[in-house]
């Protein structure tokens, strides 16, 4: 029987008691793993004194997880180093923030080899293998070196950078070559896919076959865009859950009739939170009528705190939030509530439902699930307005949002003003089109398309005509 083996940096199988801690992605992968009797393999999040390669197998909720501990040096070089100090900024077009170090390179290669070495014995000949994200690009090549012949796919959750930027990375060709060990490479959008194709055909002499496959480095692989979605039907119910309703009532009460503008992001420089605060300041500056009538809530739990660039953006945001509040606050009105913590999904859904506007303005984002979650949580009879950056992958699907250029202060200010005053009929019209897309192209649609493409490849014994994926 065909099983599915998922390999990702972290493993997050939700337990029956604590479903709300898991995102839609882990729910979808868990559902797929249950259906295919598979295994989810990755780092436990724990550090051991030395790497032993010992696998901890657990069965949670009908799904088998297999995790390994890494060692301190792995964490520094592979995770903080190459993944978060080099690839994350580079793939988000922030070459100025990449801190390349040869030791990071070595750590990245070492951990990818360790992943492959440890998971290899768990994989049986009929299994299909699905590797996730920028942490594990070379994992497939390492598995092939260890004799694996199975159908194997890779999905990139973040953008693929233009070739002019990618070329700044030392040894970039090796990184790209390792992707040709997979049979199928998936991107979030056509734009990132085209950037990859451009690199292959313009930089390294590869060729695009008439059916869309790519030939390079002596191999032909399938490539396609698979925009990730959310568990839309489930998310639509969440504002009505006990926790969702409680959060809704609590925030509504605190607003005292004021319009709520919401932002929800991991605290990351790619999310454009600083530009958002500045746009809000400019709106309050130019529209004194809004004083006391609007509140912005920015929820941003800190992430990757060991990385310099993250400490810096945190300081900048602390200072900007203090500046905005110092400038406009009154004894009965705090215009900006800046909250450095996360909330369970049900509570977030209640908060989204209470919001008039979602301000989702990443400078660059693979997809952005918050935009889709906001839409799913709206009241169809009185929906809020989504302002969405043109540089989020989600903009390719959610064209009926107010699409903005986050690098243009005027654009941001105009969109915020327009969103705050948009008539009900227009809000409903936009919502209806957006919710259709969010529901049709949900996370189940995403993973079924990817897995069935991989199944097709397995059946044909290699990458065959995947361009036809629809």
Report CA-CA distances (Å) from 165 to 54, 93, 170, 204, 229. Answer: 38, 7, 11, 15, 28
Report CA-CA distances (Å) from 310 to 86, 183, 316, 317. Answer: 13, 35, 10, 11
Report CA-CA distances (Å) from 421 to 259, 290, 294. Answer: 10, 11, 12
216 contacts ligand ADQ (rule: CB under 6 A) = no
68 contacts ligand ADQ (rule: CB under 6 A) = no
Contact set for ligand ADQ, span 267-286 (CB under 6 A):
none
Beta strands in 289-401 (DSSP E): 294-299, 336-339, 357-360, 385-389
313 contacts ligand ADQ (rule: CB under 6 A) = no
Answer for which of 281, 365, 400, 442 binds ligand ADQ (CB under 6 A) is: 365
Contact set for ligand ADQ, span 325-364 (CB under 6 A):
342-343, 348
Which one is catalytic: 74, 105, 183, 365? Answer: 365
Q: Please give the Cα distance from 350 to 352 (Å, whole number).
A: 5
Nearer to ligand ADQ, 370 or 444 (CB): 370
Least Cα distance to 23 among 349, 310, 260 occurs for 349
Residue 181 neighbours by CB under 8 Å, 6+ apart: 140, 141, 143, 144, 152, 219
135 is catalytic: no
Which one is catalytic: 157, 231, 265, 400? Answer: 157
Q: Are 385 and 403 in contact (CB under 8 A)?
A: no
Least Cα distance to 441 among 372, 383, 365 occurs for 372
Beta bridge partners of 322: none
309 contacts ligand ADQ (rule: CB under 6 A) = no
How many of the chain's residues bind ligand ADQ (CB under 6 A)?
22
404 contacts ligand ADQ (rule: CB under 6 A) = no
365 is catalytic: yes
74 contacts ligand ADQ (rule: CB under 6 A) = no
The nearest distance, CB 228 to ligand ADQ, in angstroms, is 4
Nearer to ligand ADQ, 368 or 441 (CB): 368
Answer for which of 320, 370, 434, 437 binds ligand ADQ (CB under 6 A) is: 370
Beta bridge partners of 264: 299
Q: Are 274 and 318 in contact (CB under 8 A)?
A: no
184 contacts ligand ADQ (rule: CB under 6 A) = no
Answer for which of 142, 243, 373, 400 binds ligand ADQ (CB under 6 A) is: 373
Binding marks (x or -) toward ligand ADQ, 146..165, rule CB under 6 A? -----------xx-------
First to last CA, the chain: 26
The nearest distance, CB 258 to ligand ADQ, in angstroms, is 21
Active site residues: 157, 365
Which residues bind to ligand ADQ, rule: CB under 6 A? 23-25, 157-158, 228, 264-266, 299-301, 342-343, 348, 365-370, 373
């Amino acid at each position: 029987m065909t099983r599915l083996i998922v390999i990702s940096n972290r493993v997050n199988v939700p337990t029956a008691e604590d479903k709300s801690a898991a995102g839609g992605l882990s729910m979808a992968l868990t559902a797929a793993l249950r259906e295919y009797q598979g295994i989810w393999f990755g780092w436990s999040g724990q550090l051991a004194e030395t790497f032993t390669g010992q696998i901890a197998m657990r069965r949670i909720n009908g799904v088998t997880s297999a995790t390994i501990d890494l060692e301190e040096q792995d964490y520094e070089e592979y995770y903080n180093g190459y993944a978060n100090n080099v690839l994350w900024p580079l793939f988000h077009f922030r070459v100025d923030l990449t801190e390349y170090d040869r030791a990071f390179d070595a750590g990245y290669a070492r951990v990818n080899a360790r992943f492959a070495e440890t998971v290899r014995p768990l994989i049986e000949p009929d299994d299909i293998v699905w590797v996730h994200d920028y942490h594990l690009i070379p994992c497939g090549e390492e598995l092939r070196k260890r004799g694996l012949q199975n159908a194997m796919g890779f999905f990139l959750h973040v953008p693929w950078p233009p070739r002019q930027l990618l070329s700044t990375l030392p040894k970039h060709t090796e990184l790209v070559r390792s992707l040709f060990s997979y049979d199928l490479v998936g991107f979030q959008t056509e734009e990132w896919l085209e950037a990859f194709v451009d690199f292959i055909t313009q930089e390294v002499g590869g060729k695009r076959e008439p059916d869309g496959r790519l030939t390079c480095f002596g191999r032909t692989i399938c490539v396609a865009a698979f925009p990730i979605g959310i568990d839309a039907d489930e998310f639509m119910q969440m504002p009505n859950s006990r926790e969702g309703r409680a959060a809704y009532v609590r925030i509504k009460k605190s607003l005292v009739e004021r319009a709520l503008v919401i932002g929800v992001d991991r605290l990351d420089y790619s999310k454009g939170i600083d530009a958002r605060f500045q746009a809000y300041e400019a709106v309050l500056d130019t529209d004194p009528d809004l004083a006391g009538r609007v509140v912005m809530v920015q929820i941003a739990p800190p992430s990757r705190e060991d990385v310099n660039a993250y400490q810096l953006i945190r300081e900048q945001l602390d200072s900007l939030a203090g500046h905005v509040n110092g400038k406009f606050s009154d004894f009965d009105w705090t215009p900006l509530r800046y909250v450095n913590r996360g909330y369970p999904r049900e509570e977030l859904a209640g908060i989204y439902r209470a919001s008039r506007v979602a301000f989702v303005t990443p400078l660059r984002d693979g997809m952005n699930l918050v935009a889709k979650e906001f839409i799913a949580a709206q009241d169809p009879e009185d929906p809020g307005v989504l302002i969405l950056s043109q540089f989020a992958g989600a903009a390719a699907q959610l064209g009926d949002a107010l699409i903005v250029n986050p690098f243009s202060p005027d654009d941001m200010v105009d969109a915020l003003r327009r969103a705050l005053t948009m008539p009900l009929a227009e809000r409903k019209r936009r919502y209806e089109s957006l919710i259709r897309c969010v529901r049709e192209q949900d996370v189940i649609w995403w993973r079924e398309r990817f897995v069935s493409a991989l199944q097709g490849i397995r059946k044909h014994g290699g990458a065959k005509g995947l361009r036809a994926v629809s």
